[in-house]
Structure 1
Amino acid sequence: MTVALFIILFILFLFIWLFFDYRFGRNDHLRFAKKMESPILKGEFEIFAHGKELFADYFHSLEQAQASIDIVFYIVRNDAFSHKFLSLLKTKAGEGVQVRLLLDQFGSLKFPKKLAADLRDAGVAFRYSSRVKFPFLFYSSQVRNHRKITVIDGKIGYLGGFNIGKEYIGFDPKLTPWRDYHLKITGEGVRFLQQVFFHDWQEDWQKKTHKEVSVIPPHDHNYAVETAAEWTFHSEGAVHFSDKRNHMVAHRLLATEANLLEDPYIQHIHSAKESIIIGTPYFIPSKSVFTSLLQALRRGVKLTVIVPATADHILVQEASYRYFRTLLREGAAVYQFNNGFYHAKTIVIDNAVYAIGTANFDKRSFFLNKEINCYFYDSRFQKRVMAIIQQDIHDSQRLSLEDLNKPNVLRSVKEGIAGAISYFL
């Protein structure tokens, strides 16, 4: 009886602690949360939807760096591809280039301490972002830096959904080919990306204030199937959309954290008159965002959602089903991408406002993560993006309400669990 009472009290204490840790931790986060938004800028853009093409270009840009390389990733794996990336950073640091690498502490949890030490020894400035901090241990463990930004010499920027790991270039049998959207930017937007990077670089390492963050100007494993030849990047027929005519694209960048992404999405959905297209690996909207989507459908707006047919995390697919049932009844079209794994993050409003970035269409991105999206307003570039989206729809199978309503006890159990913890998926 004493043991049972102890267990009950311990569980009660745990729930009370988690409740107050999360509540007060969130209040503290909201006090200092900052939405960084650029004005309308002009720049040149390229978009990549395949990892091998992206990283061929990306590695070439890194190799050409003369003064500085600033990088934040959510994930850097400990595999042969990641080692190639890290080796390049160490080489550039040895050449006198100022190299900074910032990784999310949770996303790169398995990143070995030895690799971090090797980077520092080679002259690479290395830090973790969004560290678990006292006294709000649980809440701080849930806040993730989900941004993927690279700025090279203050002149070239990269932004999008790809991280560093072999799955992103097609070496994970379950998730191959990996489908994602990543932007290469030159022009006015690069300075804003640099500002966001330094905001993240500094915030965990100095006392927080309400002041603006100043912009600092740039100046061994066995892989039986992986050979040196396989790490030579080539397109393999991938479609690469770019504009080589120095066409300047109007765009705006928005960096968010805490609850600062939900309202911009709601505003865009409310503005829709004809169509909304959402591409996301995880569809777990907040109540307010979901209500906005239903209102859009009921006023005649066509809603299309693209999600992967194969999930890469437990319960995320089941968490989306209850939303899809309602949307399908209201006339929405839901497509499940089945030509690999779909990890792209995009929203298109009336074929006029396009966004590509790091934010998923889920509660974690709306309320917890640090994210960054790029909105662009140029019809010529939008046509290139729409060609990719249309190809992805072509490579998908339309989900039917009948499929979702077929009796399935295991799926129902998973949906119940997913619904209870959907905020943290």
Structure 2
Amino acid sequence: MALAIIVAVLLLIGLLLFLDYKFGRKKHLSAINRKNYPIRESNFEIFTGGPELFEDLFSELRKAEKHIHILFYIVKDDPVSKEFLSILKERAKNGVEVRLLLDWLGSFSVKNSIVKELKDDGVKFAFCHVLKFPFLFYSSQVRNHRKITVIDGKMGYIGGFNIGKEYINMDPKLCPWRDYHLKIMGEGVHDLQREFLKDWREERKENLLQDSIYFPMLPKGQSRHQIIPSEGFYLEETFSGLIRKAEKSIMIGTPYFIPSTKILKDLLDALDRGVHITLLVPYKSDHALVQEASHPYLREILKKGADVHQYLKGFYHAKVLFIDDNICDIGTANFDKRSLFLNHEINCYIFDKNLIDKLKAVIEKDILDSKVLTLEELNRFKLSTSIKEAIARPISHFL
């Protein structure tokens, strides 16, 4: 009798979560307005290490004169985060408009006392993507995973780094942290600004999109590119379109390889037509079960002849996709179902051959710091791994 009650309760909970997700997503999709930005021309700097990125970012923030707009998925309560927040407070006290938007769940360690200090010093602050009734489960899964910084409307940053000690190699378990981040100078900054202000409007109900002070005249740069925002929809379509265009090669760098059924089929079809696929993933994992969740997909592409490499020199967290050396996608979206179907992400498609070559040299160096993963190794039986794979498979959408 007791067992029957437990089973009934579990089934009821499962049904409620299913209905919450189904109708929550339906409401989510009905509210999406896709924004297609034009191809722009800007200049770029590439950062692959947290210490170098933060030194540059913090320096530029200290020089801000008019406004600072920042969105991060993760800011923590640690020395690095405190330095970051102290810079924002100092600039706000000196008359610079500072707006800081953080994902509620990703930045859960930012306590109310920290928020109060920010606001007392003049920083305009908001958490985004807080739990919303009635679809509590669905809203808990839809995260704002974007990382956007815009300074004085003239300079922007986008990429994989958040703010925390692990990103500057102070976490021994994940050290060194390997990631890719871009600094943008030129007309493309306007599109980063628009995406930040759209997210700010959604949370604070303050519409600044028509205010020209946030959109100064900007020069063209040397590299053609396009900003691609997504909101848990149409990223699958975008990635699929790129993969289907590939004629010679596809190179993917991602910390989590959990593609959708459609994307996996596109990759297998590409292998069938002779496209060479190279995949770079971490050897060590930063989250439970994500590595095991990737195993079924890795087996499929390995069987078809893809090259899979596991990064050994620290933790690999970069998100990058190369198509025939003609297009490079870099940004915040992982190659997984969460980024495809749940998270708000922002990526940058690069079309400039010189910049693509520089980025390709970065990932090729990282491949040299990796080991080849073979199908034989992946198929080698280990009970603990098999159990984890079985657990990960039905929940891979949410990992």
TM superposition score normalised by structure 2? 0.96
Aligned to 1:103: 102
CA contact (8 A) 1:101 1:124 kept: yes
Distance 2:269 2:210 in 1: 41
Instruction: Tell me: CA distance 1:51–1:348, structure 2 relative to 1, closer, same or farther (3 Å).
Output: same
Q: Which amino acid is the alignment partner of residue 156 of structure 1?
A: M
Aligned to 2:273: 299
CA contact (8 A) 1:279 1:344 kept: yes
Aligned to 1:290: 264
Structure 1 position 170, deviation (Å): 0.7
1:329-364 per-residue CA deviation (whole Å, 9 max, x = no partner) reads: 100000000001000000000000001100000000
Distance 1:39 1:195 in 2: 13
CA contact (8 A) 1:329 1:401 kept: yes
Distance 1:34 1:178 in 2: 35
Q: Secondary structure at the match of 1:300?
A: coil
Pair 1:414-2:388 in alignment: yes
Q: Which amino acid is the alignment partner of residue 313 of structure 2?
A: N
Aligned to 1:93: 92
Aligned to 1:337: 311
Pair 1:61-2:56 in alignment: no
Among residues 328, 331, 349, which one is paired with 1:354 in the alignment? 328
Aligned to 1:214: 209
Q: Secondary structure at the match of 1:361?
A: coil
Aligned to 1:311: 285
RMSD between aligned residues: 1.5
Aligned to 1:237: none
1:299-352 per-residue CA deviation (whole Å, 9 max, x = no partner) reads: 000000000000000000001111111111100000000001000000000000
CA contact (8 A) 1:34 1:257 kept: no
Q: Secondary structure at the match of 1:254?
A: strand
Distance 1:311 1:334 in 2: 16
Distance 2:205 2:61 in 1: 29
Q: Secondary structure at the match of 2:180?
A: strand
Structure 1 position 33, deviation (Å): 1.7
CA contact (8 A) 2:185 2:221 kept: no
Distance 1:282 1:346 in 2: 12
Which blocks of at least 5 consecutive residues in structure 1 are unaligned? Answer: 220-245
With 11-20 and 78-87 compared, the bigger mean Cα shift is at 11-20
Structure 1 position 218, deviation (Å): 4.3
Distance 2:202 2:211 in 1: 14
Aligned pairs for 1:103-182 (under 5 A) are 103-182=102-181
Pair 1:272-2:242 in alignment: no
Aligned to 1:320: 294
Identity value in percent: 51
CA contact (8 A) 1:154 1:217 kept: no
Distance 2:358 2:317 in 1: 18
Q: Secondary structure at the match of 1:295?
A: helix
Q: Secondary structure at the match of 2:48?
A: strand
TM superposition score normalised by structure 1? 0.90
Pair 1:369-2:351 in alignment: no
Which blocks of at least 5 consecutive residues in structure 2 are unaligned? Answer: 215-219
Q: Secondary structure at the match of 1:366?
A: helix
Distance 1:283 1:8 in 2: 33
1:109-161 per-residue CA deviation (whole Å, 9 max, x = no partner) reads: 12211111110111101101111100111000000000000000000000000
Among residues 338, 360, 369, which one is paired with 1:395 in the alignment? 369
Q: Secondary structure at the match of 2:162?
A: coil
Instruction: Tell me: CA distance 1:335–1:99, structure 2 relative to 1, closer, same or farther (3 Å).
Output: same
Q: Which amino acid is the alignment partner of residue 404 of structure 1?
A: L
Aligned length, in residue pairs: 394
Aligned to 1:228: none
CA contact (8 A) 1:42 1:187 kept: yes
Aligned to 2:235: 261
Aligned pairs for 1:10-89 (under 5 A) are 10-89=9-88
